[in-house]
Chain A
Amino acid sequence: MKKLLVLSTLAAVLAAGTALADTSGKKIAFSNNYAGNSWRQAMLDSYGIVTKKAVDDKIVGAADVFTTADKEVPTQAAQVQNLILQGYDAIVINAASPDALNGAIKQACDAGITVVSFDGTVTEPCAYRVVVDFKDMGKQEVEHMAKFQPKGGNLLEIRGLAGTSIDDAIHAGILEGVAAHPEFKIVGSVTGDWDQTTAQKAVATILPSLPDIVGIVDQGGDGYGAAQAFAAANKPRPTIIMGNRQDELKWWKEQKDKDGYQTWSASIAPGVSTLAFWVAQQVLDGRKDIPHDLLVPYLAFTQDDFEAALPKIKEGGVATHEYTQEDAIAAIKANIK
């Protein structure tokens, strides 16, 4: 019995990935291309909390954050090149474009720098990608919609920032979902840019020209704006899929308390930035077996558990989850096949 305990402890220690190399002197930079919405702010907050502790605990030497002034690809490419010159050991990146930064990313790899991308990932093979299955998220939106609206009907789709891979993946998932559920028909599509105000304006503009809508499939950050647009036009409230924003969940709770309104909420947790950070730390630690593509789950809330999460989200913020080193090791393990 005792032997078994010792063995299992040993196994646990091994699984936890004992420090193969010392990373206390390593410097990790975070290249971020945009900070102007609640999601990105939560992402930076989570990253700040986790990395500050990691630096204080002497796990890494430095973890600096660099945000570009605009959302532009060339600016971020230049930023990555400057980080190379600064002598960082690893770069964690939320990229403005999956392909157009490959030139700069390759230069970083060639200079011996570990690159870990997340959210806005990069396709350059030398980089690591912490990927959320956005396509599945889009598909699940329609699956849940089918539960709330079993009779089917007309859907309105709210798209994200045009030309981005995230918008493309969620849209593809939604189309796949609709193909599997022929009772639904997308009768209109607007661009909401993941922003409540933009979404509200866009929905208000298209609303008069639409037939009756039973549901809205969207990408997060746009659900509350859509609800406002419907309320302002005195149209019946459709089932709106939410995206984990505080204002969205608060609105959901109000509606639920009023008449038992049902919906579903999903989005990528902004704290996935911290997971990317730990992956970079693990690579610097000398682990060689880490797959370059790491699939991590998205954060979803259902009718039963969203109210518990709501008080923890700060006003105007978005639901998040800060990952630990152990989470990262577990995620890596789950992806090694």
Chain B
Amino acid sequence: MDNGFKGSAARNEAARARLLRGLLPALSLALVLAAIAWLNPRAISYFGFSLMLNLAIPIALATIAQMFVIAGNELDLSIGTFVGFVGCVTATWLKDAPLIGVLILVGLIGIYALLGALIHMRNLPSIVVTLGMSFVWQGLAILVLPKPGGKAPDWLLAIMSFKPPFIPFPIIAALLIAAVVHFGLMRTSYGVILRGSGGNPAALRRAGWSLLKTKIVLFALAGLFGVLSGMALIGITTSADANIGNGYTLLAIAGVILGGGEFVGGRVSPIGAVIGALTLALAASPLLTFMHIPPDWQVAANGAILIIVLAARVLISRRER
């Protein structure tokens, strides 16, 4: 009787910690939104949210791509330049020769899957492989678009400038991304296996699952979301540039961590990752612009905001232990 009570108390404690951890990304988003509302009330409107959040959609998609890689205890340093290359393909081939464009994009997902296989079979550090690939993607992007240009396909422009009634499109898109990935990774049995490949690979192997296959699937999913991110980005910017995605690599990693993920152990949260991406997008740009910081300090202030937001998350997750 006594034991049972203790057990449930410990379980309650753990559940509360998990709840806090789950709420933390949402809490930081609410804080950033409150600060923006205080600094510039005009931004809190249908028009304001459409403008502030539309560039958060590609960041959220890139963050989800990074999250799949991190779920398997790996890190992808090439996702930014990959998104840039996808953008260049989207603004050129996908518009002028849709069939070739689609083939290239599908092929890119295949290359990502192969990278997963290579990293697993040769037991290579993913940081090294993806760092190398980041230069490959960058080089290919410059080959496709030696100077900025190209144009997004009309259907893509139409999707990204869609104006639904009452709720701004970026919010709907964020909810949709979070819901789909949450269901796939957290609520299906193969999703459990995928996360398990990062959490306890030895146990998984002993149970007869193929770690090669899980790694391939995780990397292919990362490739898929990277492609979606590049397409969404071009749908918003309307035109491409070989250097367009370079900043996404670090943003995506920060988004996953801010969203409650861990670098190792298969502990990731799709909903958290999307919220983390939105928070970063809002904290980095709108908040900074509205604060009227002197130009010499703006770059440093941007970094300071990132550190504060991430430090808050580390402080709370430490209390959990």
Which A residues have a C-beta under 8 Å from some C-beta of B? 32, 35, 44, 64-75, 77-79, 81-87, 96-104, 106-107, 123, 162-165, 168
Contact = CB atoms under 8 A, between A and B. Distances in A.
A134 B310 CA distance: 43
B290 A82 contact: yes
Contacts of A82: 43, 51-52, 285-286, 289-290
Given A72-B244, A163-B142, A86 B40 contact: yes
A230 B246 CA distance: 33
Interface stretch (B110-118, B147-155, B210-218, B254-262): B147-155
A99 B289 CA distance: 23
B146 interface: yes
B293 to A, nearest CB: 9
Chain B interface residue number, banded: 35 or more
Interface stretch (B18-26, B93-101, B171-179, B295-303): B295-303
A71 B244 CA distance: 9
B317 interface: no
A74 B87 CA distance: 12
A99 B148 contact: yes
Nearest to A163: B242
A163 B284 contact: no
B145 interface: yes
Contacts of A65: 295
Given A85-B48, A163-B145, A74 B58 contact: yes
A74 B237 contact: yes
Nearest to A70: B247
Given A69-B303, A73-B243, A101-B237, 17 more contacts: A35-B299, A65-B295, A68-B298, A69-B288, A71-B243, A71-B246, A73-B237, A73-B241, A74-B244, A77-B236, A81-B51, A82-B286, A85-B52, A86-B42, A98-B147, A99-B150, A168-B146
Contact of B43 (A85, A99, A100, A165): A85
Interface of B: 40, 42-43, 47-48, 51-52, 54-55, 58-59, 141-142, 145-150, 233, 236-248, 281, 284-286, 288-290, 292, 295, 298-299, 302-303
Contact of B237 (A35, A86, A100): A100
Contacts of A87: 42
29 contacts: A64-B292, A67-B298, A69-B298, A69-B302, A72-B244, A73-B241, A73-B243, A74-B233, A74-B247, A75-B285, A78-B281, A78-B285, A79-B289, A81-B52, A82-B43, A82-B285, A85-B43, A97-B241, A98-B149, A99-B150, A100-B241, A103-B238, A123-B239, A163-B145, A163-B146, A163-B243, A164-B148, A165-B147, A165-B148
A87 B43 CA distance: 10
B139 to A, nearest CB: 9
Contact of B55 (A44, A70, A81): A81
B192 to A, nearest CB: 34
The 3 closest A-B pairs by CB, nearest first: A99-B239, A69-B302, A72-B247
B2 to A, nearest CB: 56
B142 to A, nearest CB: 5
Contacts of A123: 239
Which of B43, B148, B243, B290 is the most central at the interface, judged by chain A CB atoms within 10 Å of its CB? B148
B15 to A, nearest CB: 38
Given A78-B55, A98-B148, A163-B147, A85 B241 contact: no
Contacts of A77: 55, 236-237
B272 to A, nearest CB: 22
B84 to A, nearest CB: 9
Contacts of B247: 70, 72, 74-75
A70 B243 CA distance: 11
Contacts of A67: 295, 298-299
Contacts of A44: 295
A168 B51 CA distance: 31
Nearest to A161: B243
Contacts of A164: 147-148
Nearest to A36: B299
A66 B302 CA distance: 12
Contacts of A165: 147-148
Given A77-B55, A82-B285, A72 B243 contact: yes
B55 A74 contact: yes
Contacts of B238: 99-100, 102-103, 106
B287 to A, nearest CB: 9
A65 B299 CA distance: 12
A284 B298 CA distance: 27
Given A69-B298, A83-B289, A99 B236 contact: no
Nearest to A162: B142
B295 A85 contact: no
Contact of A85 (B40, B59, B245, B302): B40
Given A82-B285, A163-B145, A99 B55 contact: no
Contacts of A74: 55, 58-59, 233, 237, 244-245, 247-248
B246 A72 contact: yes
Which of B239, B245, B303 is the most central at the interface, judged by chain A CB atoms within 10 Å of its CB? B239
Contacts of A100: 148, 237-241, 244
B239 A102 contact: yes
A66 B295 contact: yes
A96 B84 CA distance: 14
A124 B285 CA distance: 22
Contacts of B286: 78, 82, 85
Contacts of A64: 292
A66 B289 contact: yes
B38 to A, nearest CB: 14
A65 B239 CA distance: 26
Contact of A97 (B51, B54, B59, B244): B244
Nearest to A78: B285
Nearest to B246: A72
Nearest to A166: B147
Nearest to A82: B289
Which of A78, A87, A164 is the most central at the interface, judged by chain B CB atoms within 10 Å of its CB? A78
